[in-house]
Amino acid sequence: MTVRYELVNEIGVITIDNPPVNALSQAVREGLKNAIEGAKFDSSKALLILCTGRTFIAGADISEFGQLPKEPSLPSVLSAIENSEKPVIAALHGSALGGGFELALACHYRCAIPTAEVGLPEVTLGLLPGAGGTQRVPRLAGVEAALDLITSGAPIVAEKAQQLSLIDKVLEGDLQEVALGYAKALVASGAQPRRVRDITIDPATVADDLFVSYRSKLKKRARGQLAPQHIVSCIEAAAKGSFDQGLQTERALFIECRESEQSAAMRHMFFAERNASKVEGLPKETANREVRSVAVIGGGTMGGGIAMCFANAGIPVKLLEISDEALQRGLQLIAKNYGVSVKRGKLTEADAAARQRLITGTTLYADLADCDLVIEAVFESIEVKKEVFTKLDGVCKQKAILATNTSYLDVDAIAAVTSRPEDVIGLHFFSPANVMKLLEIIRGDKTSDEVLATSMSIAKKIQKVPVLSRVCFGFIGNRMLRQYTRETQLCLIEGSSPEQIDRVMVDWGMAMGPLAVGDLAGLDIGYKARQALSDEEKGEPKTYCIADTLAEMGRLGQKTGAGYYRYDPETRARSSDPEVLKIIEAEAHKQGVTRREISNDEILKRLTLALINEGFKILEEGIAQRPGDIDAVYVFGYGFPPYRGGPMFYADQLGLKNVYEMICAYRDKHGELYWTPSALLKELVQEEITLAQWVSDRSLPFRQ
C-alpha cells in the first residue's frame, strides 16, 4: 500500500510509502484523504504524517505532467488535512519540496530532523505553487521572505525554515521515535488544530513599495519570465486580502502558467536534463572505472576551472604546467577564484582552504602515472594536443582515462597517437568551468563503453549536465554556434549595428548578445581558430572579415578595452564605439555589400533559424542522440532562454512547416550555401510529424 494507517497509542500514524521519492501520485493523494477522513471515527487524538525511505514527499508525480488532473486533487487533500478536528503533524526528513512542502504547510504542526530541506521549486518549471503555497508561506514567514523563497525556487535547510516559522520543531534522533514523542507532547499540552489560513498579515509589516521594487528586481533577475511575476501577484493577494481570495488568485495564475508555452518549455527542459545522461545502446551492466584522482594539464582559466570542479567534489587533483612560473600563476588564479566565493558568502574560508589543498601542482608528466583520469586543457591546436597525448600514453597507467577538453578538434585523430584509443574521450567543459553546468562528452569511434559510462557518472559527481556527442567539427554546441555566428556577421555587414543585434537577442531572452559574448571570450580565440582552416573551410570572407579586422587591430574585446564595443578599464562597463561602425562600412565596401536597413524580426529569425537548421542536420547525422540533448547544450552552455526550451523545442513550438518554409525563403533570397534545409526537417514536414513524435517512434525517418 502506498499509504498505511495505524493507531500507535493515541496517535494515528499515516505512513506514505511510494518509492523512490514518495511523489504525490493519485494513489498517495487518495490514500491520504481516506486516512484523514477515516481517523475521524477512531480513538486517535492527533495524526502524524511520515514517509518511508530517504525523503519526505519530494514533489509531484512527474509521470502525471501534462496529463489531465486526477481526483482527488491536491488542494482537496490539503483542505481535508487543514479542516481536520484533530491536530495533524508533518514529520519531515530528506526533501519536502513543491506539493510535499505545501502539504506540510497545510498541517497544523511541522517537525523535522536537522538534515531536512524544504522549498517550493515550481518556478523552475515555469509554474507557481498551486495548492496554497503562495498564501501560507507569507502568513508564516513574512511577505519578503516568501518572495525570496518562492521566486528563487531554492530549498532551505530545517534550521533556516524554523527561523522563518515554517517549521515548529527541529528534532534530533530517529524520526519516527522523536516525531511520535513530539505528537504525544502536543496532545498532553492540549494543543488544538492551528490553521495557517487563520493568520492575518499585518499591513504595517509590508513596505509600501515592496511589490513594485520586487517586480523591478525580477525583471532583471528573471528577464522575460511569466511565473516569477505571477508569484509576486499571489503573495500580494495574500498580504492584501483574505485567504480564500488569495487562493482564487493563486489558482487562476497557476492555470495560466500551466497552460503557457513558457511552462511547457521549462518542463521539457526538466526532462531533457534528466534524459541527457542516458546513453542509447549502452548496456546497463557496463562497469564504471574508479576515479579517485584526477590530473589536469594546463593551468589557465579553463584548466584551473576544471581542477576546481573536481576539488569541489572532494577528488584530489594534480595540475600540470610547463614551468614553475606558469604553475604558480595557475594556482594563484584558483586561489583568487576561491577567494571570490568566500567574499560572496558561497563558501567559508575553511571550506575554500580545504578544497585548495586538494589541488597540487607539478611540472613533470611522470607525476601523473597513478592518476585515474587525465584531462588535457591546453592550447586549441591539434599538433599541441597530439604531443600531449603521446606523452600521456607513455606515462599513464593502464585503464587510466585520457580526456581532451577540445572545443572543435578531431577526438579520433588525437586518440590515434596513443596505443589505447579505447581509453580516450572528449570532455568539453564550458568557461568558466567551475560555474557552467554543461559538459559535452565526445565519444570517439574507439572509445570503450566503460570509459563512456564512467565519464557520464563522473559528470554527475561534479554536478554537470552531461550531453553525449559524436565526433564532428565543433561537436553539437560549437558546430551550431558557427551558423549563429555566421548570420550575426552577415547581418552586421549587410546593415545592422552591434547594438541592434545584441539588443534583439537579449530582448528575446538570450543571456547575452552574440557580439558582447565575442568580446567577453576574446576575439583572438575565433581569429586563431580560423587561421588553422583552409579558405574553403572558413567560408565567404564577408562572414568573418569584420571580426578578423578587429582582431588584427588589437581590438580583442574586454581584455584590451575594445572589441565590438569600448570597455571602461576599471569597471569594464560597455559603451558604443562609432569607430566600429566605420570599420563595418569599410569592410562592406571591400566585399561589395550594399548596406540596408535590417529589421529586428529579420535578425531574430536568421539567427534562431540558423541554429535550428544545423540542429536538424546534427540529428540526421546521428551526432546527437535526441533533440532534447541539443536543447540541453544550448540552455546550459550558451545562454539560450530556458523558458523557450532550447532551439529544437522552439522549432516544434513555431511549427516545423513554418520553420521549413522560412528556411526555404532564406534559401531563395540568400542562396543554398547557408540555407539548404535539413533533409530530416524536410522529411518530417512532408510526413506531418513533430519532433516530439519523431523521438517517440523509432520507425520514423532517420530513427532506424
Residues with active-site annotation:
102, 122
Rounded to the nearest angstrom, the gap between the alpha carbon of residue 36 and the centroid of all alpha carbons in its chain is: 39
- How far apart are the C-alpha atoms of 412 and 424, rounded to whole Å? 8
Residue closest to 137 by CA, chosen among 115, 116, 122: 122
- How far apart are the C-alpha atoms of 390 and 403, rounded to whole Å? 13
Helix (H, G, I), strand (E, B) or coil at 170: strand
- How far apart are the C-alpha atoms of 294 and 296, rounded to whole Å? 7
What is the number of other CB atoms lying within 10 angstroms of the CB of residue 384? Answer: 13
What is the Cβ-side half-sphere exposure of residue 329, based on CA atoms within 13 angstroms?
12
Crossing angle for the helix pair 523-531 and 514-521, nearest 10 degrees?
Answer: 80
Residue closest to 66 by CA, chosen among 242, 353, 212, 271: 271
- Distances 444 to 59, 385, 447, 532 between C-alpha atoms, Å: 39, 15, 5, 22
Answer whether 231's CB lies under 8 Å from 143's CB. no
Beta bridge partner(s), residue 8: 11
- How far apart are the C-alpha atoms of 410 and 175, rounded to whole Å? 54
Answer whether 408's CB lies under 8 Å from 473's CB. yes
Answer whether 454's CB lies under 8 Å from 282's CB. no
Q: What single-letter DSSP state applies at residue 512?
A: S
Beta bridge partner(s), residue 427: 441
List CB contacts of 259: < 8 A, sequence separation 6 or more. Answer: none
Give φ, ψ of 256 to 5 degrees: -60, -45
List CB contacts of 628: < 8 A, sequence separation 6 or more. Answer: 268, 271, 272, 275, 276, 646, 648, 649, 695
Give φ, ψ of 408 to 5 degrees: -135, -30
What is the number of other CB atoms lying within 10 angstroms of the CB of residue 187? Answer: 18
- How far apart are the C-alpha atoms of 219 and 312, rounded to whole Å? 32
